[in-house]
Amino acid sequence: MASLDDPVEIGGLTLPNRLYRAPLLECAGNGEGAVETLIDELEPTAASGVGLVFQGASIVTPDSGCAAPNMTRVHDPDFVAELSRLTGAVHDHGGRIFLQLAQGGLRSMEVWHAGYRREHPEMEQLAVSRPPWQLRVLDRAGLIDLSPRVLSTTAVYDLAEQFGRAAGYAVDAGYDGIHLSGANMSIVQQFCSPFYNRRDDEFGPDPGEPAAGGRRFLAAIHDAVRDHAGDVPLVTKVPAETVAPKFVRRYLSFDDAVGLATALVDVGYDAVVPVEVSTFWDMSIVRGAYPDRAWDATDLQADYAAAFGSPHYARALKLLNRLQARRFDRESGWNAHLCRAVRDRIDVPVLCEGGIRTRETCDRLLGAGDGDRRPGVDLVGLGRPFYAEPRLGRRLLDGEDALCESCNNCTVPQVTGERGRCRTPSVVRERARLDEQGAYDDESASSTE
């Protein structure tokens, strides 16, 4: 049975322990101060002893593709070169950092963010196929705004090449590995998903293998990454669309996702992060409570109205969020079942995240599966708890639990461009108290110099 403190290898790279920071939006953008924002956000996490930091989704194309405000783009080699200050800061603490590469496709923010759409009326979204009728209905009703550009076969290879080039720039800037945003409705998930992918070329589904198009797109990205970045460790999220709403008839099933993850190892991926997600914008990736404090914040009301188009529509979304929170209550380690099913089939590391909050859960997930002979997962990751406690690593490695209550007050304000931070007073107070007591201090983790 592995312990959280045990080293582990991904693609030949040794990580000092099995704890990672799941990719989260840093909202750093690309403007002045972007690198400092990223250092402020990620260096404390590395300093706290977390073995692997995944920087949040960063966009490989110069236009469109951002799912939310202030995402960072990584198509420009000069900008990415500046990120060597970030990778250096992480390395100074003995940590490792992977860059997550992404493109939003139909999930891009000009589709749902009214203010952004007004500023960029000409912007088109890369589309795997003609959007499914459910999205076209929302478009016609004026609830979203689609301008899809369906990718030709050549354009798919060009897009894979853009992922590869960004990976090359990242490795030159000192990143230790590449993570692909393969879920959360990103374009990679759209290729994998029979809901989105109706193509009839080599990047479309095969009879009996609905994710074949996604597998081939991920193979094209793999090849482009190898061309530009050599044998850098390469990881991807692998989606199972098991929580798609009932009216979605075609989705990636649990078994499809296990098959896809298995096939990706043959393609050459060094680790996988299996996650159960939806085909739509919903709370499936942030399962937890209805964030009443965030929705009611008086200073954000005007910004919500600007983001969603009107106070009326913002109120409708608030109600939808309340209903969603009932369906997506937080479950501790909600991807564990899928991760273990994948782990049964493959020999590369399987990374598990989603609702993990206690040291006991980390140990249980890393250990042998509940009394049976199946292996545990290889690494465990936490996301929102790092907004609440950027230096959480030290406490978890010391056997303590995270303070995060999965209340989601950190998530909704990000639609206005606000940075992710804990907004729940009881948690913020407790973190301050622990800080005063020195709970986050540890000489051995604070510097390797």
Ligand X SMILES: Cc1cc2nc3c(=O)[nH]c(=O)nc-3n(C[C@H](O)[C@H](O)[C@H](O)COP(=O)(O)O)c2cc1C
Closer to ligand X by Cβ: residue 285 or 346: 285
Distance CA(238)–CA(400), nearest Å, equals 30
Closer to ligand X by Cβ: residue 242 or 414: 414
Residues numbered 283 to 342 that lie near ligand X (CB under 6 A) are 285-286
Distance CA(272)–CA(21), nearest Å, equals 15
Q: Does 424 bind ligand X (CB under 6 A)?
A: no
Exactly one of 15, 57, 106, 300 binds ligand X (CB under 6 A); which one? 57
Q: Does 23 bind ligand X (CB under 6 A)?
A: yes
b/e map of 362-377 (b: 16 or more CB within 10 Å)? bbbbbeebeeeeebbb
Q: Does 181 bind ligand X (CB under 6 A)?
A: yes
- β-strand partners of 8: 15
- Rounded to 5°, the CA angle 392-59-32 comes to 75
Q: Does 73 bind ligand X (CB under 6 A)?
A: no
Q: Does 69 bind ligand X (CB under 6 A)?
A: no
Exactly one of 45, 61, 87, 100 binds ligand X (CB under 6 A); which one? 100
b/e map of 158-192 (b: 16 or more CB within 10 Å)? ebbbbbbbbbbbbbebbbbbbbbbbbbbbbbbbbb
Q: Does 48 bind ligand X (CB under 6 A)?
A: no
Query: For residues 48, 418, 307 and 109, what is the CA-based torsion angle, rounded to 10 degrees?
Result: -40
Q: Does 234 bind ligand X (CB under 6 A)?
A: no
Contacts 24+ apart (CB under 8 A), 361-366: 361/332, 361/333, 362/4, 362/18, 362/19, 362/396, 363/3, 363/4, 364/333, 365/333, 365/336, 365/339, 366/1, 366/2, 366/3, 366/4, 366/18
Residue count at the site for ligand X (CB under 6 A)?
A: 23
Q: Does 45 bind ligand X (CB under 6 A)?
A: no
54 sits in which H/E element: strand 52-59
- β-strand partners of 13: 10
Closer to ligand X by Cβ: residue 205 or 361: 361
The nearest distance, CB 113 to ligand X, in angstroms, is 15
Q: Does 411 bind ligand X (CB under 6 A)?
A: yes
Q: Does 271 bind ligand X (CB under 6 A)?
A: no
Within 129-152, where are the H helices? Answer: 133-140
Closer to ligand X by Cβ: residue 249 or 326: 326
The nearest distance, CB 116 to ligand X, in angstroms, is 17
Exactly one of 43, 353, 405, 418 binds ligand X (CB under 6 A); which one? 353
Structure-token pair, residue 331: 């479950």
The nearest distance, CB 200 to ligand X, in angstroms, is 29
Instruction: Specify the stretch interacting with ligand X by CB under 6 A; choose among 19-27, 41-49, 72-80, 217-225.
Output: 19-27
Phi-psi region of 186 (alpha: psi -120 to 50; beta: other; left: phi over 0): beta
Distance CA(357)–CA(342), nearest Å, equals 22
Report how far apart the first and last C-alpha atoms of the chain are (Å, whole number).
Answer: 32
Residues numbered 362 to 401 that lie near ligand X (CB under 6 A) are 382-385
Closest residue to ligand X in the complex (CB): 383
Q: Does 24 bind ligand X (CB under 6 A)?
A: yes
Q: Does 25 bind ligand X (CB under 6 A)?
A: yes
Query: For residues 47, 49, 50 and 53, what is the CA-based torsion angle, rounded to 10 degrees?
Result: 30
Closer to ligand X by Cβ: residue 182 or 205: 182
The nearest distance, CB 277 to ligand X, in angstroms, is 9
- Helices 254-267 and 336-343: crossing angle in degrees, nearest 10, is 50
Closer to ligand X by Cβ: residue 17 or 70: 70
Tell whether the torsion through CA atoms of 276, 280, 286 and 288 is positive or negative.
negative
Exactly one of 242, 409, 414, 424 binds ligand X (CB under 6 A); which one? 414
Closer to ligand X by Cβ: residue 199 or 269: 269
Structure-token pair, residue 362: 């980390």
Structure-token pair, residue 32: 């002045």
The nearest distance, CB 142 to ligand X, in angstroms, is 27
Exactly one of 22, 283, 317, 366 binds ligand X (CB under 6 A); which one? 22
Q: Does 405 bind ligand X (CB under 6 A)?
A: no
Distance CA(345)–CA(260), nearest Å, equals 11
Closer to ligand X by Cβ: residue 328 or 440: 328
Exactly one of 95, 194, 393, 420 binds ligand X (CB under 6 A); which one? 420
Q: Does 237 bind ligand X (CB under 6 A)?
A: yes
List residues binding ligand X (CB under 6 A).
Answer: 22-25, 56-57, 100, 181, 184, 237, 285-286, 353-356, 382-385, 411, 414, 420
